[in-house]
Amino acid sequence: MFTLPDGTKVWLNADSKISFALQFIKKTREIILDGEAYFEVSKDKDHPFIVKSNGQQIEVLGTQFNVNSYRDEPTTAKTLVEGNRVDFRTAMRKIARWYNVEVVYDTSVPEEMESGGWMSRNNKLSGVLQAIEDAGHAQFKIEGKKSSS
């Protein structure tokens, strides 16, 4: 186990390595993973923690999760251990940008929501919306053209 500059704890599995800046000075805390690692991410809602691995990107604010992403394996496995607090409005802006859709929502929705799903541009839109619905924070109604995302 070792600790990143922001206080995040990382456990690397065999034949695994990560790359990161000695200091996180940008708006994000980014690392690159090759292999498998378990993360206990220090909470910082202003600086998302991003793991890039095998062409995928995982973004969290502060949570515990495992990523299994060896270069010679065709898939990346992600396991969320603890829920992640996500700013609802930020999540909706990301969805609009990533999938090129218009998102209209009721402003009475709580600003933060507990998310058990993954927010990633690599997931299908239907899967992202379903994860938010499953967490019990919103219901989505898709109007207009049917999305293949």
Could you report the per-residue pLDDT of 37-88, keeping only the tens digit for each? Answer: 999 999 888 888 888 888 778 888 777 888 888 887 766 666 655 555 556 6
Band of residue 7 on the pLDDT scale cut at 50, 70, 90: very high
- pLDDT score, position 79: 60
Which residue in this structure is represented by tokens 């802006």?
93
**What average pLDDT does the structure give for the chain?**
77
CA 53 to chain centre: 12
User: Among 33, 52, 82, where does a domain finish?
Assistant: 82
Look at the pTM and tell me if it is higher than 0.75: no
- pLDDT score, position 143: 73
72 and 110 in a single domain? The answer is no
Instruction: Summarize the confidence of residues 88-106 as an average pLDDT.
Output: 76
User: Among 42, 62, 82, where does a domain finish?
Assistant: 82
Domain residues for the domain of 127 are 83-149
- DSSP string covering 108-123, please? TS-SEEEE-S---TTS
19 and 47 in a single domain? The answer is yes
Q: Which residues contact 115 (CB under 8 A, 6 or more apart)?
A: 83, 84, 85, 86, 91, 131, 132, 135
What domain count does the chain have? 2
Instruction: State what percent of residues in the chain have pLDDT above 70.
Output: 68
- pLDDT score, position 1: 92
146 and 100 in a single domain? The answer is yes
pLDDT, tens digit (0-9, with 9 covering 90-100), for 115-128:
545 566 667 777 77
54 and 87 in a single domain? The answer is no
User: Among 82, 111, 137, where does a domain finish?
Assistant: 82
Whichever domain contains 8, its CATH number is 2.60.120.1440
40 and 8 in a single domain? The answer is yes
Instruction: Summarize the confidence of residues 94-113 as an average pLDDT.
Output: 71
